[in-house]
Structure 1
Amino acid sequence: MPPRRPPSPTPPIDGTDGALAARATGTSLLHTAVRYYSLTKPRVLYGNVLTAAAGFLFASPGRINIVLFLVVCLGTTLVIASACALNNVLDRDIDTVMARTKKRATVTGGVGARHAVIFAAALGVAGMAMLVAWTNWLVVAVGVGGFLAYVVLYGMLSKRMSVHGTLVGSLSGAAPILGGYVGAAGVLDAGGAVAFLMLFLWQLPAFYSIAIYRRDEYARANVPVISVVRGIPRTKIQILVYTVAFVLVSLLPQLLGYVGASYTAVMGLLGAGWIVLAVRGVTAADSYGWARMMFRYSLMVMTAVSVMLAVGPRLP
């Protein structure tokens, strides 16, 4: 018999396989992090945090406590992120049939419901712990109230059961600016009330506009938004009414002595433009196109409100 060949030597390890495995692991971790991050609804989250920062700066016309500002903003961010993540879990049945939400991680299975709830709980506990430890009881009360209003009163109940769901949701949407304000001021006064009312009123024409151009999707999902229950013409009238109400309230800060004429000039000009657009919408033939324009304008108004409240006390 021919002699056996000796076994082949073990091939040298050049690190290529290990590098590929490490890269794959890193990519997987990144994708997982992105899926969890998406549960926080980043665009909604950062819009709300912007208003919280504006509220704090509006209530700090003099020296700004930077540490407290950062704590209020970060704690509020975590609490809002927690509420948004829970909303993803609650709305899975609705999100499945709506084009803009059917790719959410809780719908596609990218993040399971149980893991999403654990993630939301961790965010909420961390955020509330920060607010309890370093802010005042008013900030904590606003944070808890806004969280419950969004998750329970809106997400679990009114959104599915009543045409007034947007009104309820607007309470939670206005909570961040109030939380920022009382975080700096330590009291709830006329300035905080006006800031809260502005954000509350701003949301109604903004989200009623979404209800128009997303009407068919809401109807398929059996969500009783105003455009589905009462029709588009009545929704347009409501948009006009709330737009005028917002503009009137947005001009109060100077009358109350919180800001100067610069604030009023900017907000008066933008408000007048928004009212003109709302009036045109009443007779607009292309309701969907007009509603999209109305919503885009509302985003500009919200950004302007936040900026002008922040710098208004420091301008003439």
Structure 2
Amino acid sequence: MTAVVDAPRGRRARRPGELLKAYLGLIKPRVIELLLVTAIPAMLLAERGIPSPWLVLAVLVGGTMAAGSANALNCVADADIDQVMKRTRARPLVRHTVSNRHALVFGLALGVGSFGWLWATTNLLAAVLAVATILFYVLIYTLVLKRRTVQNIVWGGAAGCMPVVIGWAGVTGTVEWPALVMFGIVFFWTPPHTWSLAMKYKDDYERAGVPMLPVVAQPIVVSRQIVAYTWLMVVWTLLLVPATGWLYTAFAVAAGAWFLVLAHRLHVATKRGEPSKPMKLFHMSNTYLMIVCVALAVDSALSLPTVF
């Protein structure tokens, strides 16, 4: 008589729709949206106009695969952290909707696919940059920096700056100074964006043992750092003025002033011991980056006068 063995708990058969949703959750689509928003203006500025729609689509597809690969592999490496943080307890690996092994294979397949796709549809430089970004995000940020240093998001955030460089390389086959300036804009934007979120979820990060700045420093230190990086970001946006026109300049200055006002309000409220509402700055930071990127895209598409 053949014994009947019960299936392991948490391993019940999944419906196709449930699995699809789980794999989409692994690649973190909302994060990818934000990254790709920065790649399109870089391509328009590199072209000094509107590049081939096919080329834009090719970079977006390849960029989505690369970012999805990095995010899926990040989920595998951070499964233990996600399990103890309230904000991440609904992720697929925590809920056992997808196994760690399948998520690992999925992430690696996306990474290999992104390299092949970008090499075939754009150029080798864009493909190499995409793979380098995946490796940096997973091996340097996730496995080394994130759990060991308060500077984790500062240097680890460099991976999130790479879509602008990949977009530029996809158009020109090179990396020129405007691409590096755009890299810097996202680089300096990342700490205020992330630390304001971490101020809200400080207990989550502390419970997970992740030394985010709000966990290891006093709130006044965090708000002061947010103000400092915001000033660096706004000033850095102006370095792009010689390569753009008045439209970008006007929106960069106006949006930057708005960001600075909110950052200073957060700092003042923190210094006075009043409710600081960090999530207001977090949500505004997304809007700010969108405004700057759209202004740059429109400015570039209109082929307004440039110096370089």
Q: Output the CA distance in 2 between the equivalents of 1:197 and 1:276.
A: 21
Counterparts of 1:108-123 in structure 2 under 5 Å?
A: 108-123=95-110
Deviation, structure 1 residue 161:
0.8
Aligned counterpart for 2:248 among listed residues 263, 274, 285: 263
Deviation, structure 1 residue 186:
2.1
Partner of 1:276: 261
Q: Output the CA distance in 1 between the equivalents of 2:121 and 2:259.
A: 39
Partner of 1:309: 296
Matched pairs, number: 288
Aligned counterpart for 1:41 among listed residues 14, 20, 28: 28
Q: Which runs of 5+ in 1 are unaligned?
A: 1-26
Q: Secondary structure at the match of 1:218?
A: helix
Deviation, structure 1 residue 201:
0.8
Moved over 3 A (4+): 285-289
TM-score (norm 2): 0.89
Deviations 1:79-109 (A, max 9, x none): 1101101111111111111111011010011
Q: Output the CA distance in 2 between the equivalents of 1:240 and 1:138.
A: 36
Deviations 1:213-271 (A, max 9, x none): 111111111100111112221111110011011001112222x2x21111111111110
Q: Output the CA distance in 2 between the equivalents of 1:308 and 1:141.
A: 29
Q: Output the CA distance in 1 between the equivalents of 2:281 and 2:184.
A: 20
Q: Output the CA distance in 2 between the equivalents of 1:98 and 1:83.
A: 20
Q: Output the CA distance in 1 between the equivalents of 2:179 and 2:17.
A: 40
Deviations 1:49-70 (A, max 9, x none): 2212222122121351222221
Partner of 1:80: 67
CA contact (8 A) 1:153 1:168 kept: no
Q: Output the CA distance in 2 between the equivalents of 1:62 and 1:94.
A: 44
Partner of 1:241: 228
Q: Does 1:144 align with 2:135?
A: no
Q: Secondary structure at the match of 2:94?
A: helix
Deviation, structure 1 residue 153:
0.6
Q: Secondary structure at the match of 1:62?
A: coil
Q: Does 1:214 align with 2:201?
A: yes
Partner of 1:68: 55
Deviation, structure 1 residue 287:
6.8
CA contact (8 A) 2:251 2:292 kept: no
CA contact (8 A) 1:209 1:295 kept: yes
CA contact (8 A) 1:85 1:120 kept: yes
Instruction: Give the aligned CA root-mean-square deviation in angstroms.
Output: 1.6
Identify if the C-alpha distance between structure 1 residues 291 and 110 changes in structure 2 by more than 3 Å, giving closer, same or farther.
Answer: same
Partner of 2:9: none
Amino acid at match of 2:220: P
CA contact (8 A) 1:213 1:288 kept: no
Q: Output the CA distance in 2 between the equivalents of 1:228 and 1:92.
A: 20
CA contact (8 A) 2:223 2:266 kept: yes
Partner of 2:182: 195
Identity %: 35
Q: Output the CA distance in 2 between the equivalents of 1:288 and 1:204.
A: 20
Report the structure number with the largest CA radius of gyration.
Answer: 1
Q: Does 1:155 align with 2:142?
A: yes
Identify if the C-alpha distance between structure 1 residues 264 and 149 changes in structure 2 by more than 3 Å, giving closer, same or farther.
Answer: same
Q: Which runs of 5+ in 2 are unaligned?
A: 1-13
Q: Does 1:232 align with 2:214?
A: no
Amino acid at match of 2:259: W
CA contact (8 A) 1:213 1:289 kept: no
TM-score (norm 1): 0.87
Q: Output the CA distance in 1 between the equivalents of 2:276 and 2:73.
A: 32
Q: Secondary structure at the match of 2:27?
A: coil
Q: Output the CA distance in 2 between the equivalents of 1:81 and 1:229.
A: 30
CA contact (8 A) 1:78 1:123 kept: yes
Amino acid at match of 2:257: A
Identify if the C-alpha distance between structure 1 residues 307 and 121 changes in structure 2 by more than 3 Å, giving closer, same or farther.
Answer: same
